Amino acid sequence: MKFIGLVLTIVAILLGFYFGGGDLKMLWQPVEIFVISGAGFGSFIFSNSSYIVKAFFTHFKLYFSSAHFNEKMYVEMLNLVQDMSRIQRQDGLLAIIRDIESPKPAIFQKYRTILKDYDNQQFLVDAFLTFAEAKKGDFMLSELKMKNRIKNYSMVTRKLSDALYRLGESMPAFGIIAAVLGIILAMGEIDQSATVIGQAISAALVGTLLGVLFGYGLFIPMSMTVRNYAHDQEIFQKYILQAVMMVYKEARPMAIQDSLLRDIPHHIKNKISIGY
């Protein structure tokens, strides 16, 4: 859906220019694109820590993907935790711990959505092991550790969102720089015909257009996507933490189901059919 939105934005601009009598070939200015993108990413690298720059590339699939934390994700996690609760009641917590510490935990294999989500799968494993290592009565300390882990998980993503937003806001300025460079080049053609000078100036103005398009049509929407992901991930990891705590407190599977169903976000709960 996000990719459709990006395509629609670009197509609307191109068709508006075309139906207004413009020649689309005039908008293809590789030099302007090079100046804007090169200067923009250079400033992005210069103004951010290396882990933020790395996160920009590792989160690339996220920018144009659909909602990650959807009803399928929540239902699979609910079913997985109920499976863990049954194993815990039948074979004890050590059976779960031995399984999740193995290279290919058997308990995850039938839950394909969770299996593909390494970060949250690992968070679930870490939560179990943290509570397993805690002495009896130290649940509050273990809970605090995992809540701090949630903050750390979302910190990088939120910082990436802020960095992309700042990049988006700076793009129009880099577009102006590209346009000014183009005008300087156009002035070097001042002894040429009006047609040549006009073409040079129009090429320069494309820089301003691209700067605004990259900023408000690409990078700022990417920033909002990352921020929404960080928010949804934090909610989901709190959901996981609550589920793990209930298993350790030896709650009945039906009690776990009722509690976790109540805590599913409202917009997702409406999509889950009864009996899921």
Lowest mean pLDDT among 23-37, 213-227, 234-248, 251-265: 251-265
Q: pLDDT at position 181, please? A: 92
Which segment of 111-120, 201-210, 230-239 scores lowest on mean pLDDT? Answer: 111-120
Q: For the residues 20-43, what does the mean pLDDT come to?
A: 92
The domain segmentation of the chain, as residue ranges, is 31-59+70-269
Average pLDDT over residues 139-166: 87
Are 229 and 154 in contact by the 8 Å Cβ rule? The answer is no
d(CA 87, CA 138): 23
Query: What does the chain come to in residues?
Result: 276
Compute how many other C-beta atoms are within 10 angstroms of the C-beta atom of residue 74.
23
Q: What is the pLDDT of residues 93-122, one digit of tens each?
A: 788 888 888 888 888 888 888 888 888 888
Q: Is 188 helix (H, G, I), strand (E, B) or coil?
A: coil
177-205 tens-digit pLDDT: 999 999 998 888 888 888 888 888 988 99
Q: Which amino acid is at 60?
A: F
User: Would you say residue 134 has pLDDT above 80?
Assistant: no
pLDDT of amino acid 104 = 83
Q: Can you give the pLDDT at residue 273?
A: 60
Q: What is the number of other CB atoms lying within 10 angstroms of the CB of residue 178?
A: 29
Place of tokens 């009896």: 136
User: Going by C-beta distance under 8 Å and a sequence separation of 6 or more, which residues neighbour residue 6?
Assistant: 64, 217, 218, 221
In 188-219, alpha helices (H): 194-214
Q: Determine whether 167 is exposed, middle or buried from the number of CB atoms within 10 Å of its CB (0-12, 13-18, 19+).
A: buried
Buried b (16+ CB within 10 A) or exposed e, 24-44: eeebebeebeebbeebbeebb
What is the DSSP secondary structure assignment for residue 102, as one 8-state letter? S
Average pLDDT along the chain: 86
pLDDT tens track for 50-86: 999 999 998 887 777 766 788 888 888 888 888 888 8
Residue 168 token pair: 């988006």
CA separation (Å) from 233 to 117, 153, 238, 251? Answer: 11, 9, 9, 25
Sequence-distant contacts of 259-264: CB under 8 A, at least 24 apart: 260/78, 260/81, 261/78, 263/239, 264/74, 264/78, 264/239
